[in-house]
Structure 1
Amino acid sequence: MTIQVGDQAPDFELKDNHGAPVRLSDHRGRQNVVLVFYPFAFTSVCTDELRALRDGQGRLADRDTHLLAVSTDSVHTLRVFAEQERLEYPLLSDFWPHGDVSRAYGVFDDSKGCAVRGTFVIDREGLVRWTVVNALPDARDLNDYVEALDTL
């Protein structure tokens, strides 16, 4: 079951592309969070989406929002991917236990072994305020996230 608007966002701790722990709860009371699940690093649609987020990150920061991107890739894969694509925001590894956080948000595809394209806008209090879940081939639009943030 996918997390719905109005639900408390499940807290988690994952390692980022540098191996540092990142907790969703670290942002509670301080910043909104855009939590983006994507299938795999180095794939065309994912790369295009993450580049768009890189290029539009200022639009999120202007809205006092922190970006967290999650895939089931390993920390090492994410480190190389972030360096290659010049991604300066955290890429979080939901590698092991495999897909646990993706499952908690209801965006894990068991048949593919990865997350589908799910995005959750989470307010400072930890409530999900907007969400979209797309199939693997369907890219998302940063403008939708910005519009959702503008309603907070």
Structure 2
Amino acid sequence: MTLQPGDLAPDFTLPDTHGTPVHLGDLRGEAVLVVFFPFAFSGICTGELCELRDNIEEFETAGVRLLAVSTDPVFALKAWQQQEGFGFDVLSDFWPHGTAARAYGAFDAERGHALRGSFLIDADGVIRWAVVNPRGQRRDLEAYRSALAAI
């Protein structure tokens, strides 16, 4: 079941591309956008995250920290982050495989990867906006902008 606005965001600790653990609970007090994506180096995922990269100032101005999460291993995510110049955290939900994505209802167990799910979490850890798109459907930047305006 996918989490909805008003739900408490499940906590997680995942390694970033340097292997440093990022604990969602440590980020209480600031808004966080958790963006699950299926695969590094894939066309739609690259397009979506490059669009977020190119508009990161909008998130920073709103006081929102971006965490991009995939079930890819750390080393693949590191190479992709360096190639694309992502200045935000890219986290690996590789092992136990998809645990964070499952907790948010954003995991495709049949195919073994995260779905395109985004969750805007307020400073108190409550989900204020959520979207999970079907396979092959990219997320809309305007929807992110509307969600940012609402917090």
**Does TM, normalized by the shorter one, top 0.5?**
yes
Show CA shifts across 1:121-149 (max 9, x none): 10000000000110120000222112112
Quote the Cα distance in structure 2 between the aligned partners of 1:141 and 1:25: 27
Q: Give the aligned residue type for 2:23.
A: R
**How far is the alpha carbon of 1:39 from its aligned partner?**
0.2
Is 1:132–2:131 an aligned residue pair?
Answer: yes
Matched residue SS, 1:51: helix
Unaligned runs of 5+ in 1: none
Q: Give the aligned residue type for 2:125.
A: G
Unaligned runs of 5+ in 2: none
Q: Give the aligned residue type for 1:13.
A: T
Quote the Cα distance in structure 1 between the aligned partners of 2:17 and 2:49: 14
Quote the Cα distance in structure 2 between the aligned partners of 1:16 and 1:7: 25
Q: Give the aligned residue type for 1:74.
A: P
Is 1:5–2:5 an aligned residue pair?
Answer: yes
Match of 1:56 in 2: 55
Quote the Cα distance in structure 2 between the aligned partners of 1:32 and 1:143: 18
Match of 2:43 in 1: 44
Quote the Cα distance in structure 2 between the aligned partners of 1:82 and 1:63: 23
After TM superposition, the score normalised by the length of structure 2 is 0.98
Aligned residues: 151
1:39 touches 1:136 (CA, 8 Å); kept in 2?
no
Match of 2:69 in 1: 70
Identity of aligned residues (%): 51
Give me the CA root mean square deviation. Answer: 0.7
Match of 1:102 in 2: 101
- Would you identify which runs of 4 or more consecutive aligned residues in structure 1 move more than 6 Å? none
Quote the Cα distance in structure 1 between the aligned partners of 2:28 and 2:142: 24
Further displaced range: 106-115 or 137-146: 137-146
Match of 2:18 in 1: 18
After TM superposition, the score normalised by the length of structure 1 is 0.97
**How far is the alpha carbon of 1:23 from its aligned partner?**
1.0
